[in-house]
């Protein structure tokens, strides 16, 4: 039986991944442990105690928050990943940990960004994600630890809110569209970034961890995307459901600079070829579902 430890379990992805994985293993409830990933001995203890054979390591400080406290981001993102890999090596555990579009920088080709290309990010978050990719590959090659990962784009969901990323505007806009019929964006018009609906993010984690290892040429980490849009495109899609919706701008220079350094659109053909990646939602189907689910959550009649 699979015994999975999910770090960052209370975050945007973790809260939904738990339900998804528990359905999958037909467990109705599972154990919860308070765990600081910076404490390597405790990571080892929790894995031993529960007989863990797979770690999905999500705990991290996201891009915008990392720029507010780069030292903390380094500690959690780097040492957390290192501790997870060391415990995985010692206890024979498989590891999934996400990288990000943040693993690219201004010198990376911005359109149709290839799987294997220049990675010189300018944010602390990006630095830790590139280092994490390299460490994961190192543990696979040197120690045979089954490490796998994807480069997530902005993840859009109606459950727990994202915690301090650059792409968060694309979640907040739906809440404000329903609540206020207007939104002031901190990301400027014409700024394209890759995005994905939570359903597809969960599917990508599951499908990559289930993939036949013989087919994997890459491991850490695969470009994955479902759509690329700028705030204007997103607003136009929302207006199909809420015609009065108004989008204004108050650009935040820090997050705008981060967004400018990231790709406009990823080439995810390696993921498609090596493990059958294929997202279910595009901008139109995601927007319809987001507004329906959020209207229920917020108790708002559109």
Q: Which residues are catalytic?
A: 125
If one asks whether residue 60 binds ligand SER (CB under 6 A), the answer comes out as: no
Q: What is the dihedral of CA 150, 154, 155, 157, to 10 degrees?
A: 180
Smallest distance, Å, CB 210 to ligand SER? 23
Binding range to ligand SER, per CB under 6 A, among 48-56, 159-167, 181-189, 269-277:
159-167
**Which residues, numbered 124-143, are part of the site for ligand SER (CB under 6 A)?**
125
Which of 96, 104, 140, 152 touches ligand SER (CB under 6 A)?
A: 152
Smallest distance, Å, CB 40 to ligand SER? 24
Nearest to 170 by CA among 80, 225, 78, 235: 235
Smallest distance, Å, CB 255 to ligand SER? 8
Please say whether the beta carbons of 140 and 219 come within 8 A: yes
- Measure Cα distances from 89 to 50, 55, 62, 86, 150 in Å: 16, 12, 26, 5, 20
Angle at alpha carbon of residue 186, lines to 183 and 188, rounded to 5°: 100
How far apart are alpha carbons 134 and 69 in whole angstroms?
23
If one asks whether residue 167 binds ligand SER (CB under 6 A), the answer comes out as: yes
If one asks whether residue 229 binds ligand SER (CB under 6 A), the answer comes out as: no
Which of 100, 220, 261, 287 touches ligand SER (CB under 6 A)?
A: 100
Binding range to ligand SER, per CB under 6 A, among 18-26, 42-50, 100-108, 229-237:
100-108
Smallest distance, Å, CB 90 to ligand SER? 29
If one asks whether residue 154 binds ligand SER (CB under 6 A), the answer comes out as: yes
- The owner of tokens 């997050």 is 255
How far apart are alpha carbons 126 and 131 in whole angstroms?
8
Which of 77, 83, 108, 166 touches ligand SER (CB under 6 A)?
A: 166
How far apart are alpha carbons 194 and 201 in whole angstroms?
12
Give 49's Cβ-side CA count (13 Å radius).
11
- The owner of tokens 């790709």 is 263
If one asks whether residue 165 binds ligand SER (CB under 6 A), the answer comes out as: yes
Binding range to ligand SER, per CB under 6 A, among 23-31, 71-79, 94-102, 196-204:
94-102
Provide the binding-site residues for ligand SER, judged by CB under 6 A. Answer: 62-63, 100-102, 125, 152, 154, 165-167
């Amino acid at each position: 039986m699979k015994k999975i430890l999910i770090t960052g379990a209370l975050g945007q992805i973790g809260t939904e991944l738990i339900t998804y994985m528990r359905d999958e293993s037909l467990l109705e409830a599972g154990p919860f442990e308070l765990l600081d990933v910076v404490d390597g001995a405790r990571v080892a203890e929790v894995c031993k105690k529960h007989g863990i054979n797979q770690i999905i390591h999500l705990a991290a400080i996201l891009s915008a928050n990392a720029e507010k406290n780069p030292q903390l981001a380094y500690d959690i993102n780097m040492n957390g990943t290192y501790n997870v890999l060391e415990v995985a090596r010692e206890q024979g555990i498989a590891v999934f940990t996400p990288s990000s579009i943040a693993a690219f920088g201004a010198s990376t080709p911005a359109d149709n960004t290839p799987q294997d290309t220049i990675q010189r990010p300018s944010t602390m978050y990006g630095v830790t994600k590139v280092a994490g990719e390299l460490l994961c590959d190192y543990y696979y090659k040197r120690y045979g630890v089954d490490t796998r990962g994807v480069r997530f784009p902005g993840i859009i969901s109606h459950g727990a809110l994202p915690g301090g990323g650059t792409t968060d505007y694309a979640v907040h806009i739906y809440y404000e569209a329903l609540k206020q019929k207007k939104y002031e964006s901190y990301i400027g018009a014409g700024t394209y970034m890759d995005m994905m609906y939570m359903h597809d993010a969960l599917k990508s984690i599951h499908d990559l961890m289930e993939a036949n290892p013989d087919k994997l040429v890459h491991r850490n980490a695969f470009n994955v995307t479902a759509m690329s849009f700028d705030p204007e495109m997103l607003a136009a899609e929302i207006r199909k459901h809420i015609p009065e919706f108004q989008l204004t701008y108050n650009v935040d220079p820090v997050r705008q600079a981060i967004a400018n350094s990231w790709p406009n659109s990823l080439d995810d053909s390696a993921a498609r070829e090596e493990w059958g990646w294929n997202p279910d939602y595009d901008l139109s189907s995601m927007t319809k579902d987001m507004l329906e689910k959020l209207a229920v959550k917020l108790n708002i009649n559109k």
